[in-house]
Amino acid sequence: MTDANVHVPAPSTLPSTLPPTEPDATRTSHARRGWEPSTGAAELARRYPAHVGATRLYGEEFHRDPHAVYQRLRARHGSVAPVLLDDDVPAWLVIGYRELHYVAGQPDLFGKDSRTWNAWDLAPPHWPLRPPVAWTDTILSTDGAEHGRHSAAVDDALGAVDLFELAGRCERIADGLIDAFAGDGKADLIGQYAARIPMAAGATLLALPPADTAAFLADVTAMLMQAGEAHAAEARLRAIVRPYTTARRANPGADTLSRLAAHPVALTDDEVFEDLIMLLLMSQAKTTAWIGNALRLILTDPRFAVTIAGGRRSVAHALAEVLWEDPPFSNAFGRWATRPVHLGTQHIRRGDLLVLSVAAANADPQVRPDQLAGPGGSQAHLAFGSGPHRCPYASQDVAETVARTAVTVLLDRIPDITPAVPAGALAWQPTVVVRSLMAMPVVFTSS
C-alpha cells in the first residue's frame, strides 16, 4: 500500500467511541414511559438539588470561551463544581489539579464502570454524550485486573511501533494530502488535512492489504460521522478484522494487529477488535485536535509567526503549549463514585458522574499562580490523563510523532500559509469533550 494514496474521508462531527450500551433498567424505563424534558427537570430538582440552576457546559457561551466558564466555577465552588451537561444531565466537574490527580488515581473510589451511574434515566435516548459515557469491554471502561490485562496488550503492541518508520509514513501521507490542494491556493486545514492524517497513519499500523484498507477506513469514518450507520459499519468492520485476527494469532507479523492478537494475555477476537477500534477512534479525535490547535496557534499567535521560519523549534513549542492551554480532550469522561465521598467542598453520592476537566486543572492557580508566564518547559500537564487510565506512554509517542510530522510537513511545503478569517471567527466543535476546531480556512500561493 502506498501511504500517500490512502484515501480517508474527513470526519465532520465529533469523533465518538463505539455505539453505546445502556443498562437494561434504563432501556425498560424509556420503553415504558418514554423520555420527556419535563420529566428530566422534575427528577433533577428532586434528586440533585445542588444541580438546579447549575452552569451548563454547552451552548454558544461555553464553546466560545470555556476557560472563562471554568474560572467562574472555580471562584464560586472551588475545586469541584456541580454542572449540567447536554440536555441538563447532572455531573460534577473536577477542576482542581490535585483533586483530578486524586480521582484519577483512586479507581476503588472512582471507577470507570458507567453501569453504576445513578442518572441513566435522565439521559435522553439520543443524548449526544452517550457514546463516551457508555460502558464497553475495552481498555477504556474496565478497572483493576481486567484493565491491567487490556493495558498490557495495548502497551506492548504500541510500544513496538518504529517511530522513525511511522514518521516516514506520515510524511508521505501528508505530502499526498497537500498535493491534492496545493494548486488551489486555499484549503480547510481541518477537513482536508488534520482530520485525515491520524486515521490514515493508524491504518498503516494494521498492515491490512490495499483491497480492504479503503473499506476499513470508510467504515471507521462512518462510525465517527453517521450515528445511524454506526451499527452497520461496526458489523462490516468486524467482518474485515476478524479473519485477519485469527490468521495473525497463528502467524503473527510485525504489525499492531498481530501484536494484539498474539499477546500472552490472550485477548479474544472480540476484545482485539474492540480495543483496536477504540484506540483508532480515540487517537483520531485527540490527534486531529492536537494538529489543528497547534496550527491555529502557529498561524495566529505573533510569538510563533516571528520564529517559525527559523526551524523546527517553534513547532515543538506549539505542540507543547497546546497540551497546557488547549488540550485536545479538554474534559475526560468519566468516573463514577463507588460509595459516598467528600471531594473538595462537595458531597458526592454513590453512582454520581464525575467529569475530569483537564483544561481547567491545567490552569489551576494552585499549581500555576502566574498564568501569564505560561507553562515554560514543564511537562506536568494533564493532557494525557493521570492514574491507571492515563493515555499509554507508547500511544503518546505515536500521537506526538503523527502530530509533529503533520505540522512540520505542512509548514515546509507551504511556508506562506495564512488564515483566511480572523482567529475569533474560527468555530469550535460544539462538545464538552474535545477542544477542536470545526474548520480552519487558509490561503497561500498555489503551486
Amino acid 18: pLDDT? 35
Q: Where are the domains of the chain?
A: 3-443
Residue 210 contacts residue 3 (beta carbons within 8 Å):
no
The pLDDT of residue 359 is above 80: yes
* 228-248: average pLDDT: 87
Query: Exposed, middle or buried: residue 441 (CB in 10 Å: 0-12, 13-18, 19+)?
Result: middle
Q: What pLDDT digit, counting tens, does each position of 7-30 carry?
A: 554 544 333 333 333 444 333 333
pLDDT band at 371 (very low <50, low <70, confident <90, very high): low
Residue 355 C-alpha cell reads as 467529569
pLDDT band at residue 284, thresholds of 50, 70 and 90? confident
Residue 144 predicted with pLDDT over 70: yes
Q: Please state, in angstroms and as integers, the Cα–Cα distance from residue 51 to each residue in 74, 334, 355, following that order.
A: 16, 18, 14
Residues 405-443 pLDDT 10s: 999 999 999 999 999 999 999 999 998 999 999 999 999
> Using CA atoms, how far apart are residues 303 and 318, in angstroms rounded to an integer?
10
Predicted pLDDT of residue 3: 54
- Is residue 117 a contact partner of residue 351, using CB atoms and an 8 Å limit? yes
CB 110 within 8 A of CB 91: no
Instruction: Write down the pTM of the prediction.
Output: 0.88
C-alpha cell, 157 = 503492541
pLDDT at 199 > cutoff 60: yes
Measured N-to-C along each axis, helices 144-159 and 393-413 cross at an angle, to the nearest 10 degrees, of: 40
Whether the pLDDT of residue 265 is over 60: the answer is: yes
Give the number of C-alpha atoms closer than 13 A to the C-alpha of residue 427, restricted to the C-beta side.
11
d(CA 73, CA 110): 22
pLDDT in tens, 95-139: 999 999 999 999 999 999 999 999 999 999 888 888 888 888 888
The 10s digit of each residue's pLDDT in 57-88 is 999 999 999 999 999 999 999 999 999 999 99
Q: What is the mean pLDDT of residues 324-329?
A: 93
Confidence band of 282 (pLDDT split at 50, 70, 90): confident
- Per-residue pLDDT band for 283 (boundaries 50, 70, 90) equals confident
Backbone φ, ψ for residue 419 (5° rounding) = -60, 140
For residue 30 the three cell numbers come to 424509556
Tens-digit pLDDT profile for residues 148-187: 999 999 999 999 999 999 999 999 999 999 999 999 999 9
Determine the Cα–Cα distance for residues 135 and 272; give it in Å rounded to an integer.
Answer: 16
pLDDT at 378: 73
Domain boundaries 3-443, CATH class: mainly alpha
3-state DSSP of the chain: CCHHHCCCCCCCCCCCCCCCCCCHHHHHHHHHHCCCHHHHHHHHHHHCHHHCCCEECCCHHHHHCHHHHHHHHHHHHCCEEEEEEHHHEEEEEECCHHHHHHHHCCCCCEECCHHHCCCHHHCCCCCCCHHHHCCCCCCCCCCHHHHHHHHHHHHHHHHCCCHHHHHHHHHHHHHHHHHHHCCCCEEECHHHHHCCHHHHHHHHHHCCCHHHHHHHHHHHHHHHHCHHHHHHHHHHHHHHHHHHHHHHHHCCCCCHHHHHHCCCCCCCHHHHHHHHHHHHHHHHHHHHHHHHHHHHHHHHCHHHHHHHHHCCHHHHHHHHHHHHHCCCECEEEEEEECCCEEECCEEECCCCEEEEEHHHHHCCCCCCCCHHHCCCCCCCCCCCCCHHHCCCHHHHHHHHHHHHHHHHHHHHHCCCCEECCCHHHCCECCCCCECCECCCEEECCCC
Residue type, 360: A
Q: Which of 13-27, 225-239, 304-318 has the highest mean pLDDT?
A: 225-239
